[in-house]
């Protein structure tokens, strides 16, 4: 038995015993709450609970886990339990990658994919924002043939379809986002506060300014932007508000409206570039059409008018029953338990596939010798 075969046999044993490391490269948001980062942490947390050695991999030693005089850290907005997960710094030279290990890189970091392409491990793309996946990817380069990333994890079938349209030989794995249980309806009546979530802070300001200019009779209605809040506070404020506004053209999954549904808070939103699956249904002819689980528009300019119309019917206790019923029907589809089950299934399959790859290599080596 030659040395290569011995080495591959050791890799196979490690994989079968789950003696492997899964490294999730994660951007330091410097304490700013980010849905994409929260989802990466959820994968690491669940995998750790399932007995895997999963790690948050970050670039610098001063990764902002806890708050300081300059503001929140990750534990302040996401929770202490997430700060206790394994964190590994590249700068501290803590990263040691074995052939049995997995490294998972977000779609935007093509530069990091270039740096790790020679690593002898399994390499996977974590794609949550398809609009960003071409940002740092050089013209003509492919995740597969140029960097050795032959698998991608994403959060919806629509994103998977888009990825396959660019990289036709890639394997896609879908794990939808879970909505935490603390997103729930408040037990008190809704208050005249409109909560906003926008990717661009200026969009939120424009909505509020336009609304007050066009409808001064509603100057007593308040707007509250949920940017920068701890996640449980975010949920509490969303549960109290009578209406939520969402503008995020680049959204890949659309977490915020789902959080609002769980809080029984209606949503007015601009449809993103990729229409989320939960926003679509089929008409009588089987063609895709937009659900009535929110008030959806294709331009932000009429959002103030839609807000005014909603506030009027809300004050008159005349919110359309169809909207309220469709919101209720949209609840409960994306639970944390459902996400956990999907994480368990997908990563077990990824390990199983890797075992099959190594077994095939061992067999090839045996034939060659």
- Res 203 pLDDT > 80: yes
Q: Tokens 């996401």 label which residue? A: 78
- How far apart CA 196 and CA 203 sit, in angstroms, is 9
Question: Average pLDDT for residues 193-209, to the nearest whole number?
Answer: 94
Domain boundaries, the chain: 3-178+336-368, 191-329
Question: Average pLDDT for residues 307-335, to the nearest whole number?
Answer: 92
- pLDDT, residue 3, reads 47
Indicate the average pLDDT of the chain.
93
Going from the C-alpha of 208 to that of each of 56, 105, 109, 225, 299, the distances in angstroms are 38, 37, 35, 10, 15
Higher pLDDT, 68 or 175: 175
3-state secondary structure 181-248: CCCCCCCCCCEEEEEEEECCHHHHHHHHHHHHHHCHHHCCCEEEECCCCCHHHHHHHHHHEEEEEEEC
Report pLDDT digits (tens) over 247-281: 999 888 999 999 999 999 999 999 999 999 999 98
Helix (H) or strand (E) holding 307: helix 303-315
For helices 255-262 and 231-240, the axis angle rounded to 10 degrees is 60
- Res 194 pLDDT > 50: yes
Report pLDDT digits (tens) over 51-99: 999 999 999 999 999 999 888 999 999 999 999 999 999 998 888 899 9
Identify the band that residue 1 occupies on the pLDDT scale cut at 50, 70 and 90. very low
- pLDDT, residue 2, reads 43
For helices 336-368 and 3-16, the axis angle rounded to 10 degrees is 160
At the topology level, CATH places domain 3-178+336-368 in: Rossmann fold (3.40.50)
Going from the C-alpha of 95 to that of each of 16, 25, 28, 121, 256, the distances in angstroms are 22, 11, 17, 13, 34
Could you tell me which of 209, 203, 213, 208 has the C-alpha nearest to residue 193? 208
Report pLDDT digits (tens) over 282-302: 888 888 899 989 999 999 999
Question: Average pLDDT for residues 7-20, to the nearest whole number?
Answer: 92
Report pLDDT digits (tens) over 92-148: 888 889 999 999 999 999 999 999 999 989 999 999 998 899 999 999 999 999 999
Lowest-confidence segment of 2-16, 163-177, 341-355 by average pLDDT:
2-16
| Angle made by CA atoms 177, 182, 187, in degrees to the nearest 5 | 135
- pLDDT, residue 369, reads 66
Q: What percent of the chain has pLDDT over 70?
A: 98
- pLDDT, residue 183, reads 96
Going from the C-alpha of 299 to that of each of 164, 272, 275, the distances in angstroms are 29, 10, 14
Options 3.10.620.30, 3.40.50.300, 3.40.50.2000, 3.40.190.80; CATH for 191-329 is 3.40.50.2000
Q: What is the dihedral of CA 71, 72, 73, 74, to 10 degrees?
A: -150
Sign of CA dihedral 347, 349, 350, 351: positive
- How far apart CA 260 and CA 271 sit, in angstroms, is 16
Going from the C-alpha of 327 to that of each of 194, 241, 349, the distances in angstroms are 17, 15, 34
- How far apart CA 272 and CA 300 sit, in angstroms, is 11
Q: How many CA atoms lie within 13 A of 63 on its CB side?
A: 21
Q: Tokens 């940017």 label which residue? A: 227
pTM score of the predicted model: 0.94
């Amino acid at each position: 038995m030659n040395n290569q075969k011995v080495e591959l046999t050791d890799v196979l044993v490690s994989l079968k015993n789950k003696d492997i490391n899964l490294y999730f490269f994660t951007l330091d948001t410097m304490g700013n709450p980010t849905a994409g980062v929260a989802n990466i942490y959820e994968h690491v947390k669940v995998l750790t609970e399932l007995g895997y050695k999963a790690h948050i991999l970050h670039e610098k030693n001063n990764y902002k886990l806890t708050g300081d005089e300059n503001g929140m850290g990750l534990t302040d907005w996401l929770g202490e339990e997430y700060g206790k997960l394994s964190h590994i710094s590249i700068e501290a030279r803590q990263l040691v990658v074995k052939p049995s290990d997995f490294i998972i890189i977000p779609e935007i970091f093509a530069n990091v994919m270039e740096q790790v392409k020679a690593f002898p491990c399994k390499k996977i793309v974590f794609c949550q924002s398809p609009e960003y996946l071409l940002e740092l990817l050089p013209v003509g380069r492919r995740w597969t043939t140029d960097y050795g990333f032959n698998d991608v994890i994403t959060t919806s079938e629509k994103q998977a379809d888009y990825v396959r349209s660019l990289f036709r030989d890639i394997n896609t794995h879908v794990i939808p986002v879970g909505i935490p249980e603390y997103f729930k309806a408040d037990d008190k009546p809704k208050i005249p506060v409109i909560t906003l979530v926008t990717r661009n802070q200026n969009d939120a300001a424009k909505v509020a300014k336009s609304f007050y200019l066009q409808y001064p009779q509603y100057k007593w209605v308040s707007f509250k932007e949920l940017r920068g809040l701890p996640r449980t506070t975010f949920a509490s404020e969303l549960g109290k508000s009578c209406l939520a506004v969402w503008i995020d053209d680049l959204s890949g999954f659309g977490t915020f409206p789902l959080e609002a549904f769980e809080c029984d808070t209606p949503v007015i939103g601009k449809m993103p570039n990729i229409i989320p699956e939960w926003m679509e249904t089929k008409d009588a002819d089987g063609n895709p059409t937009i659900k009535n689980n929110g008030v959806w528009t294709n331009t932000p300019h009429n959002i103030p008018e839609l807000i005014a119309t909603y506030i009027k019917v809300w004050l008159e206790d005349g919110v359309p029953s169809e909207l309220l019923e469709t919101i209720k029907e949209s609840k409960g589809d994306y639970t944390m338990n459902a996400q956990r089950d999907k994480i368990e299934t997908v990563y077990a399959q990824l390990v199983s596939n890797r075992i099959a790859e190594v077994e095939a290599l061992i067999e090839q080596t045996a034939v060659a010798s």
